Every structure is written in C-alpha cells, then in structure tokens.
C-alpha cells in the first residue's frame, strides 16, 4: 500500500496508527521516518523499536540496516511519497461522506461546526489540530476507520499549487470555501491568486457534489467558475441558508436559522457574526447530507470549540477573549468587531500582536487593523515592533490610549497594571507571536 519492499523478517503484527514522531509514538504504531530540513527520521528507528512500534517505513537503506534484527522495516524510495500513496490506497477502502474545508480564515471553527452537525446522524471524524498540509491531510485520512460514516478535513496552503494534489487525495463530496482574504499573501501575491488556489478544491468536487461559499464573498463567482458541482450560497440576503435576530454574549450567540422554508432557533458556544457565518456553512453541509434543519441546530449547540479561538476565559476577575491561535487582517477585524458588539461593564482593551506572511501587504494590513481597533477599543496594547503601523493608524483615527510593548510577557505585566474589574480584554496574534503568553502570565 505504500510502494515499499517487503520486510526481510516475516512478522504477523496488527497496527492501528501511523506515527511520524518517536516522542509521541505508542506501542502498536507504524513508525514513518520522514525527512525535513533539520532532521532525518531514519536516525530514530531504534527509538521507535524500543517504544513498541510494530515496524518502520524508511527510505535510507544503511540506517535501516541498523534496526534491531527482529524489527520489520519497509524500505521505500521516498517516505513522503510513500505516505501519500498509503493514504490514497486507504482512501479507496473508505466509504465516507467527505467534506473538505479551505479558506483564508475560519477553517478550524467551520470544521468544528461541521463535524458537530454531521455527528448528530453520522459517525464523523475530523482533522485534529491543524493537520491540514501535505503531511497532515494524509495522516488524517489514515486515521479514518472503515466504520466511520463521514469525514471533515481541512486543507490549508501558503504557496501556489498546494491544494490541488491534496484535494485529489481527499476526494471531497462537498467543498466549503470560508472566504478569500489576505492570509499568506506574501507568497501568493494577490487575492486573485489566493482565490484561484482555493478554487482548486472546488474543481475537485464531482458533478454530483456541491461547493458551499458565503454569498457575500466578493470571489464567490470565481469559485463557482472552477467547479462542475452545484453551488450553495449562505448568508447575506440571497443565501439559501441564512440567520436573523443574532444576539451575542461573551459565552456565545443565539439566532434564528432559516433554510428551505423552515426556521429554527439556534445557538453557538462562540460569539461573533463571523462565527455565525461559519456556522451557516456547516448547516448547508448538513442539509446536503440529509439532516433536518433542527438536527443541524442541535449539532451547532453541541460544538466544542478548540482553544485559542475567540473563547471567553475569566482570569482574576477579568474577562478575556482568547483568540490567540492565529491572525490575519480579516480575522483581526472580525475579532475586534465581536469585542465591540459584546456587552461590557468596563473598558474594552485590545492586546494585539504581529501577523505573519503579509509581505508587501503588511503596511496596509496593519493599517486595516489599526482602524478597526480605533472603533472597537478604549485601550490598545500593541505587541512587537512589527505592529508599529497598527498603533500609528489607530492613533490617527482617534484612539487616545495606546501602549506599545516588545513582547507578550511585557504586555502581560503592563496589562496587570492597567485593567480593572469589568474590563473585557481581547488577545490576538499570529501563532508565531505566542500571544497566549499574555493570558498565561497575567
């Protein structure tokens, strides 16, 4: 299944999982010896055997010879190619309803909503964490069981040409494109190029499948031009699935869900109009797979949101909005709009860190966030030298109280001296900015 030579020692062993890291490997795993820029997994075959791996897939014959004598090794030409072939062959055996999700932001929350909705009726698996790239997706496929009914898999990218081969591997029945924003614009060059790359997922959908997009996205027509499947639009005034009467609290949102001539009350465990928009995409997927609107609402209410994604955390009497998992200008604006809309007894404080992979768009991207901060926050704490344009723009647009710090630890110390009971504090930045340290050290 992975294109390798049979091991020299004849072993009859059962395995249920593939592991690429000896630090997390457990007895019974297959060990996959991947190579990276700074490591060679082939060097760790003895560790894998000692930890109870049933065999290893390797692409270095000399290092394979150093494995214990009774330890099976499957030799391949290239372990990454073997991983993809293994996943493709396993995908052949899976009778799954598959939803694949891509977009510039909102992929993970949409994944959580969609898997919760489908889980009302089907045994559903989903991408764990952010395993959505050329290594993560095949690992997600290989983690599926023949007893699973549905899968919800994220597909990410940051360079041209990455989505098409992953989409071909996943073979989606439904594709969801959350939005076309400016995430990864440093490598893609323009929103038009980002749209074309995301549309590669729509192109992989068969004619009997469907592609789900927000009706309000200005690249919706571009996405539609790539697919042979049916288009399903959500939100706005023209969406087939829509929401009205949205009410937000820090703990979540309630709204009326409309689709196919029906209306039901729905709730989410996360605040924000952008979260409602993502939930509509999930509901559309549920309807496509035969769920009722009421079942979809039941699934939304049961969603468990991943940490660091606009979740409320009360620390020492202060209300934090923890959105530290990642950031780009679009998600920053959405988080600030959510903070502005939520009831607050004290001040609204935004602690914002740097955004990655903006390239030549950085000045404009930070300026966008600065304008949003000026309209949403009473106090801005900008973290890191890269955020200087954010501070400058917020000041130009009338925000009087702005502080600048060099690091999340410094921001936490400053925040302790500034907050009062009743304040709401939004903390957000790209993954590499490690903004969660603000809350951890508050």
Q: What is the pLDDT of residues 363-393, one digit of tens each?
A: 999 999 999 999 999 999 999 999 999 999 9
Helix runs in 52-106, H state only: 61-64, 79-92
The share of the chain scoring above pLDDT 90, in percent, equals 89
Query: Which superfamily does CATH assign the domain made up of 17-77 to?
Result: MurE/MurF, N-terminal domain (3.40.1390.10)
Mean pLDDT to the nearest integer, 398-415 = 97
Question: pLDDT-derived band of residue 7, with 50, 70 and 90 as boundaries?
Answer: confident
Sketch the domain layout of the chain as residue ranges: 17-77, 94-301, 311-440
- Supply the pLDDT for residue 392: 97
- Supply the pLDDT for residue 311: 84
Per residue in 36-47, pLDDT (tens digit) is 888 999 999 999
**Residue 216 and residue 103: Cα distance in Å, rounded?**
14
- Supply the pLDDT for residue 352: 98
Mean pLDDT to the nearest integer, 255-276 = 96
**Residue 251 and residue 365: Cα distance in Å, rounded?**
29
Residue 11 pLDDT > 70: no
Q: Which of 286-290, 317-321, 423-427, 435-439 is least confident?
A: 317-321
Contacts of 36 (CB under 8 A, 6+ apart): none
Residue 202 pLDDT > 90: yes
Q: Which of 44-48, 96-100, 250-254, 299-303 is least confident?
A: 250-254
- Supply the pLDDT for residue 10: 65
Query: Which superfamily does CATH assign the domain made up of 311-440 to?
Result: Mur ligase, C-terminal domain (3.90.190.20)
Residue 323 and residue 310 in contact, taking contact as beta carbons nearer than 8 Å? yes
- Supply the pLDDT for residue 310: 82
Residue 396 and residue 420 in contact, taking contact as beta carbons nearer than 8 Å? no
Per residue in 107-160, pLDDT (tens digit) is 999 999 999 999 999 999 999 988 899 999 999 999 999 999 999 999 999 899
**Residue 64 and residue 57: Cα distance in Å, rounded?**
9
- Supply the pLDDT for residue 316: 87
How does 193-224 read in b/e, with b if 16+ C-beta sit within 10 Å?
A: ebbbbbbbbbbbbeeebbbbbbbebebbebbb
* Domain covering 94-301 assigned CATH 3.30.450.20 in the classification: no
Tokens of 12: 């009859």
Question: pLDDT-derived band of residue 13, with 50, 70 and 90 as boundaries?
Answer: confident
Mean pLDDT to the nearest integer, 229-255 = 95
């Amino acid at each position: 299944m992975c294109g390798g030579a049979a091991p020299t020692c004849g072993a009859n062993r059962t395995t249920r999982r593939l592991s690429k890291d000896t630090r997390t490997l457990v007895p019974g795993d297959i060990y996959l010896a991947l190579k990276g820029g700074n490591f060679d997994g082939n060097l760790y075959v003895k560790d894998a055997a000692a930890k109870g791996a049933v065999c290893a897939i390797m692409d270095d014959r000399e290092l394979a010879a150093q494995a214990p004598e009774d330890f099976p090794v499957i030799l391949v030409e290239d372990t990454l190619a073997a991983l993809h072939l293994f996943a493709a062959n396993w995908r052949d055996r899976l009778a799954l309803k598959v939803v694949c999700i891509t977009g510039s932001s909102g992929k993970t929350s949409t994944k959580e909503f969609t898997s919760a909705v489908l889980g009302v009726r089907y045994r559903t698996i989903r991408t764990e964490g952010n395993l959505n790239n050329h290594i993560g997706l095949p690992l997600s496929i290989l983690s599926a069981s023949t007893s699973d009914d549905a899968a919800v898999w994220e597909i990410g990218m940051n360079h041209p040409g990455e989505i098409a081969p992953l989409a071909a591997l996943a073979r989606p029945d439904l594709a969801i494109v959350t939005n076309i924003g400016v995430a990864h614009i440093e490598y893609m060059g323009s929103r038009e190029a980002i749209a074309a790359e995301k549309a590669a997922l729509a192109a992989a959908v068969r004619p009997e499948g469907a592609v789900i997009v927000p009706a309000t996205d200005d690249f919706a027509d571009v996405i539609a031009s790539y697919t042979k499947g049916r288009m399903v639009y959500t939100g706005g005034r023209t969406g087939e699935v829509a929401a009205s009467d949205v009410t937000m609290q820090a703990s979540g949102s309630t709204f009326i869900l409309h689709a196919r001539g029906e209306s039901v009350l729905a709730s989410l465990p996360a605040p924000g109009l952008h979260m409602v928009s993502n939930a509509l995409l999930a509901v559309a997927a549920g309807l496509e797979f035969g769920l009722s609107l009421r079942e979809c609402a039941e699934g939304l209410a049961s969603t468990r949101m991943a940490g660091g994604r606009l979740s409320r955390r009360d620390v020492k009497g202060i209300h934090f909005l923890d959105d530290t998992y990642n950031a780009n200008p679009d998600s920053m604006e959405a988080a600030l709009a959510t903070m502005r809309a939520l009831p607050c007894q004290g001040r609204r404080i935004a602690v914002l860190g740097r955004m990655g992979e903006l390239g030549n768009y950085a000045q404009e991207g930070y300026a966008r966030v600065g304008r949003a901060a000026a309209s949403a926050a009473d106090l801005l704490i900008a973290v890191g030298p890269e955020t200087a344009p954010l501070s400058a723009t917020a000041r130009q647009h009338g925000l009087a109280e702005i502080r600048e710090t060099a690091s999340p630890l410094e921001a936490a110390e400053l925040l302790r001296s500034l907050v009062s009971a009743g304040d709401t504090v939004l903390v957000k930045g790209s993954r590499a900015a490690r903004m969660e340290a603000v809350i951890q050290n508050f």
